Structure 1
């Protein structure tokens, strides 16, 4: 389905604002970046910024959504998905966009990223015991991802998969997934 011209323009402007924020994150602390600096760097008006975003955190979430949209489409097409395939796709997403994830981590905004990822990793409509187990497993993954980012991606995605697979996940119990390919 093709995007309308107005939608393309909107996405372009949002992308410019997000890119400007990440460019500024390379130079200064997140909390010290102002909306004025973001709009100046993006070469758009303050009104344009507030038309699309209420806060810098919302702008960060937009960028995370943008980065993960293609990944989510691939995941949906690959169902049922083995745990190893899920990890390979997910870690490749992070690795391919490591500069963004590194900046988020070092901007002390990993909470935004974790909240977003948990919401996508855990199926909230499942029985309570399974929900708690999945949430625990998701936090384990988030901890591994955080450490990987903190260590500046020293391990390859493949090496990290081997480490993660040492944990006894019950991936086949997750909706739409299988234990192995």
Structure 2
């Protein structure tokens, strides 16, 4: 991607988050975004079809970055859960407004997909033993803990402690 395109997208995303901290997603307009980013509307539409596509791309990028962060240079999958909580905590100021706005359902769906993929590819889970029902229970448990941790402002709890307890819960589901 050329440098000018990356710069413009960064301006749009920065403006989006600035507005999202001030007001709900449904109150943000493309006009407000472009004014704050100091670009014209046509430039915005060269990059995104509308604000919904922008939101979707932002969420997918955060989930993809989290996946790369968790699995990069990892010899053991067992540490991936701790790394996921570390990533979420480190990026809380960006993720939190997505959870409290229209992006919540999209963020939740992308996270479910990521957790499902992790279960299917991880050495931690024997898919011959994990039934479809157990897999859904594991996904719901992990997602529920992540949502509680982020939305209830429990960030003072250490990612590694949460990951250890969550692993115990998940393995009790498998048994």
| TM bin (shorter chain) | 0.7 to 0.9
Mapping of 1:2-41 within 5 angstroms? Answer: 6=2, 8-41=3-36
Q: TM-score, normalised by structure 1?
A: 0.76
Deviation at 1:38, TM superposition (A): 0.8
Correspondence for 1:140: 141
Stretches of 4+ aligned residues off by more than 6 angstroms = 124-127
Q: 1:27 to 1:130 in 2, by over 3 A?
A: same
Deviation at 1:10, TM superposition (A): 1.7
Correspondence for 1:107: 101
Mapping of 1:1-181 within 5 angstroms? Answer: 6=2, 8-83=3-78, 85-123=79-117, 130-152=131-153, 153-169=155-171
Deviation at 1:79, TM superposition (A): 4.8
Deviation at 1:121, TM superposition (A): 2.3
Cα RMSD of the aligned pairs, angstroms, is 2.8
Q: 1:133 to 1:48 in 2, by over 3 A?
A: farther
How many aligned positions are there? 165
Q: Which runs of 5+ in 1 are unaligned?
A: 173-181
Q: Distance in 2 between matches of 1:80 and 1:57?
A: 37
Deviations 1:126-181 (A, max 9, x none): 88x755533431222111111111112242212322331231338x9xxxxxxxxx
Higher normalized contact order (CA 8 Å, seq sep 6+, divided by chain length): 1
Task: Identify, as 1 or 2, the structure richer in helix.
Answer: 2
Q: 1:44 to 1:81 in 2, by over 3 A?
A: farther
2:112–2:139 Cα contact (<8 Å) kept: yes
Q: 1:44 is paired with a residue of what secondary structure?
A: coil
